[in-house]
Structure 1
Amino acid sequence: MCKRDGFNAPPPISLEDYLRVPHVLTSLAEDTHGAVDEALAKRKLKRVIALTTPGFLAVPFVVRRAPVITTMPSKLARYFAEAFGLTTSPAPIELPTFTISLLWHASFDQDPGHLWLRQTVSGLAAEVGLDL
């Protein structure tokens, strides 16, 4: 995802531009290395990380104002692109898929509030095409 006027070339972004432009990395880990970096390392390539954030919510605000790009799940990228006037492009490299899961302790299986929360989150995920 990038600023709509951030590149002279239309999508898809080239590998050269992808490596040249600084990235916003979303990671809960303290290092600046993620799944994208592992995929790049297999090809002996490296990207520049300008900023690391623990969650996706701040990312579109940064991308909208700074000369950076980010890599995120495509459905989330399309949502943010529409809401913030950004552009999306497929990544120029093959990236691994990942699973999103709801996890809870068994003692909460029958808790009414917890059951409501799980059903609500699952319903919202289904609305955007995610299977939890």
Structure 2
Amino acid sequence: MADIDEINLRRLDMAMLVTFLSLLRHGKATTVAQEMGLTQSSVSHTLARLRDVFGDPLFLRRPHGLEPTARALELEPQVRAVIDVLDAALQGATGFDPARATARVDIGAFDGELAVYGSALLARMRREAPGISVGFRILGREAALAALENREIDLAIGFFWQEHDAIRELLRTDTYRVVGRADHPLLRGDPTLDEYVAADHLIVSPAGDLYGIVDRHLEDFGRSRRVVAAMPQFLTAFAALSQTDLIATVPAGLARRFGTAFGLAVRQPPITIRTFEINALIHRRNDKSALHRWLLEQVVHVARDEAGERKGT
């Protein structure tokens, strides 16, 4: 016990540590104040106390915001570990009753997964836990994993092939379908490979890339297609397909759920494209969090209900 700095420990509290992590994440006191429901002067006062306790500026003012010092970056994993332990202790001490809980959770996924699962998940949460609010964010797989790691979201949904320190639940295994406007001459039946590569294609890519998984598979056959457009999201792509002669190769689950609504024909692709898994992830640090475990369970329930509806049609 002699090595413990009891004086400085007494000067710290959990709110200060949470503020420190929030400043690291956002780099702006105004954003932190809005997120935590505080005044900007209160955040500045907390930062002054943190600087005094740790004997370091921690953040330097720059034109773009607050830049963490080397000491702040060194402290980050240690502070996160402390918050994790305290959070686990609180969860265990208070228990978790969804019907009476008050909290905010954030979910990140690409627009297709939010379209498939988001509305049903929101409806389920309103029934089971009306005091829990939820924010949905459109995030690609890498952005979603980074947001999960940085505590910006509580759960991620998508196709994640990367290894990640997360607890995951399989929602569905999916494949691909070719879609285009209902009266597209190419889609009166399933297109042949020659017809397929001769068509003008649209690809869904948040970065605007004109090359994707289909092109890699076509190369195995010594073929290539002509991609003339890229859209950042699936549903905007479906809207574009309904008004053009373009075709697209998209996840079968999305084509099945929204093809008819956008007036699209849905056909089998002329090549075999590998299947992929859609998973829901929470960070492993939240393994003992009843809230996060409950949230993960709700997504799994929604996915099972969606799969049951699909089999019944």
Shorter-chain TM band: 0.7 to 0.9
Structure 1 ranges of 4+ moved more than 4 A? none
Q: Say which structure, 1 or 2, has more relative contact order (CA 8 Å, 6+ apart).
A: 1
Change (3 A) 1:127 1:50: farther
| RMSD of equivalent CA atoms | 2.2
Q: Report Cα offsets for 1:93-131 as digits up to 9, x if no partner.
A: 11111111122211223445433432332222222329x
Going by fraction, where is strand more abundant, 1 or 2?
2
Q: Which stretch of the first structure deviates more once superposed, 96-105 or 107-116?
A: 107-116
1:65-92 CA-partner distances (Å, limit 9, x unpaired): 1111111122211222221121010001
Residue equivalent to 1:49: 227
Distance apart, 1:25 and its partner CA:
1.3
TM-score (norm 1): 0.83
For the residue of structure 1 that corresponds to 2:307, the secondary structure is: coil
Any idea what SS the aligned residue of 1:72 has?
strand
Rg comparison, structure with higher value: 2
The unaligned stretches of length 5 or more in structure 1 are: none
Unaligned runs of 5+ in 2: 1-178, 309-313
Match of 1:103 in 2: 281
Identity of aligned residues (%): 30
Q: Partners in 1 of 2:285 and 2:293 — Cα distance?
A: 11
Higher helix share: 2
Aligned to 1:16: 194
**Alignment length (residue pairs):** 130
Alignment-derived partner of residue 35 in structure 1 = 213
Give the structure-2-normalised TM-score.
Answer: 0.38
1:26-81 alpha-carbon deviations (Å, 9 max, x no partner): 23556422211111000111111122234322121011011111111222112222
